[in-house]
Amino acid sequence: MDRRDTAGVGAIATIPALLTDRAERFGEVFAISGPEGRLTYTELAERAARVTRAAMSSGIEPGDRVGIWAPNSARWVVTALGLLGAGATVVPISTRLTGVEAADMLARSHTRALFTVRGFLGYDYPRMLAETGRELPDLARTIVASDADSWSSFLESASATTVEEARARAAAVDPDDISDILFTSGTTGAPKGVLATHRQTLAVFSGWADAVTLRQGDRYLLVNPFSHTFGYKAGIIASLLRAATMVPVPRFETDLVLDLIEQERITMIAGAPTLFTDLLHRDRTRHDLSSLRLAGTGGATVPTELVERIRTDLGVPQVFTAYGLTESIGVVSVCPPDAPADLVATTAGKALPGTEIRLVDRTGNPVPLGDPGEITVRGANVMRGYLDDPEATAATIDTDGWLHTGDIGTLDAAGYLRITGRLKEMFIVGGFNAYPAEIEQTLLRHPGIQDVAVVGIPDSRLGEVGRAVVVPTDPAAADAAAILDWARSRLAGYKVPREVVFTNALPRNPGGKVLKSQLRDPR
């Protein structure tokens, strides 16, 4: 039975209202499970409400920005939902950032309070922040959620605010209030803060949940960082929308993930292609993975063979891919989980309902069907703008409301989108446009290539040529000349890379995207 709509949101348009509804309608369903324990939706709402009261008692006002610099956990979920109930704007910060980078985001977002931890992977985030020496005049309070005294002291302040006052504050949150500021990966410059509202977040991820078939009763392993849209919105928010059970994982560890799939009877897992590659390379015979029904990936080039192996070797019958960016509230299109493997691997699927996709040339005019062009998007999944940067906002969202993604793609007659590269990553070989993603997709069919990224490098005669940075399946047998010979029979001459460089792993950001700026000088 298709249960996608049984947890529909109807007219609900704020995240606090959604949580209240879930507690009322699915109160005994487990909202969170895993090594930290279990919380029903009723218990999740109660704990979030206490955070709301404590935030109000601490002086957090509607619209105040509050940072969370911590790994995935049940407490992260409770804290974020409680802050949203207080009318605050959540500012998630990646645990991979340095103190200097985190301080910059806190300063630029004028963050009033920060929730963070000590001890994750040996890091002491409060100390890292203090050691920067940067003054943060807006930051009035830091709560160390991993410190029992600090966390308890914060929660005890809830007594100064009544339950009724907290309910009134949550009810006063407007659908068009800014719910969060998520920073871009910074792969093409300094990270920018992206403003998103409650209304558009719920609308976009309700559509996403329908497209990927997430449903009530699913048990969703949340591996992707909550500081990223893939973890926070396609994880926490989507789970709330469908009253699914969340199983947060602080970081990806192959054996731990395999254990949790068996112990928690996980039905859905999503992550970068490398996550599934790592699972496939482990001995899985000791684990019962039969509960898995749905897997999602994206954020990088996906080999067709990987989709096939997820379905056959991991036994996950449904696999989907998706395309999106922070500026599009995380998602633009989805390739449905029942599509053929080659379609899942080589396309980003079709636009979400209510989303328009148009491909344009450098002058902004639409390109003919099938021709490559910059992907522009219009709909609910267009950000409200960049934080305190009207010029960058105007350069990204045109006067007709189209978001210019900077990605190059093609659309076929059936509406399937293919990503061929970044506008800024495209390189020109003797006057011909070469698109890295297209070349990467071909190279990934080579049996000796496990992972690959292609970048343009200067050439005295042709202007630019391609460099393929390859993770070989067998380092001892890696043969650059053989790879180039193989590529010449499958790619036009100008698309064939002029050199192959081998590496153990490609550098990636938390969302799984390759940091290509680091590949142009790999030595």
* Domain boundaries defined on the chain: 4-199, 252-422, 427-518
CB 274 within 8 Å of CB 310: no
CB 433 within 8 Å of CB 422: no
Quick: pLDDT tens for 122-169.
999 999 999 999 999 999 999 999 999 999 999 999 999 999 999 999
Give the number of C-alpha atoms closer than 13 A to the C-alpha of residue 170, restricted to the C-beta side. 29
- Per-residue model confidence (pLDDT) at position 299: 66
Q: Angle at Cα 469 formed by Cα 466 and Cα 475, nearest 5°?
A: 140
Helix axes 74-85, 15-25, angle to 10 degrees: 120
| 111 pLDDT above the threshold of 60 | yes
3-state secondary structure string across 279-339: HHHCCCCCCCCCCCCEEEEECCCCCHHHHHHHHHCCCCCEEEEEECCHHHCCCCEEECCCC
Q: Angle at Cα 132 formed by Cα 130 and Cα 134, nearest 5°?
A: 90
- Per-residue model confidence (pLDDT) at position 1: 32
Quick: pLDDT tens for 20-43.
999 999 999 999 999 999 999 999
Work out the average pLDDT over 464-472.
94
**Furthest C-alpha separation in the chain:** 73
Distance of CA 276 to the CA centre of its chain: 16
The third-level CATH classification (topology) of the domain covering 4-199 is Rossmann fold (3.40.50)
pLDDT band, residue 518 (cuts 50/70/90) = confident
| 5 pLDDT above the threshold of 60 | no
| 300 pLDDT above the threshold of 80 | no
CA distance 61 to 81: 15
CB 430 within 8 Å of CB 462: yes
| 181 pLDDT above the threshold of 50 | yes
Q: Which residues pair with 486 in a beta bridge?
A: none
- Which 8-state DSSP code applies to residue 244? P
Quick: pLDDT tens for 320-338.
999 999 999 999 999 999 9
- Per-residue model confidence (pLDDT) at position 141: 96
**According to the CATH classification, is domain 427-518 in 3.30.300.30?**
yes
Q: How is residue 146 written in tokens?
A: 């991993």
Question: How would DSSP label each residue in 7-24?
Answer: G--TT--SHHHHHHHHHH
| 357 pLDDT above the threshold of 80 | yes
CA distance 41 to 27: 5
Q: Is there a common fold for 252-422 and 427-518?
A: no
- Per-residue model confidence (pLDDT) at position 7: 62
- Per-residue model confidence (pLDDT) at position 96: 86
Q: Considering the domain 252-422, what is its CATH architecture?
A: 3-Layer(aba) Sandwich (3.40)
Work out the average pLDDT over 430-455.
87
Q: Residue 187 class from Cβ within 10 Å (0-12 exposed, 13-18 middle, 19+ buried)?
A: middle
- Per-residue model confidence (pLDDT) at position 509: 74
Quick: pLDDT tens for 360-409.
998 999 999 999 999 999 999 999 999 999 999 999 999 999 999 999 99
- Per-residue model confidence (pLDDT) at position 226: 97
CB 30 within 8 Å of CB 40: yes
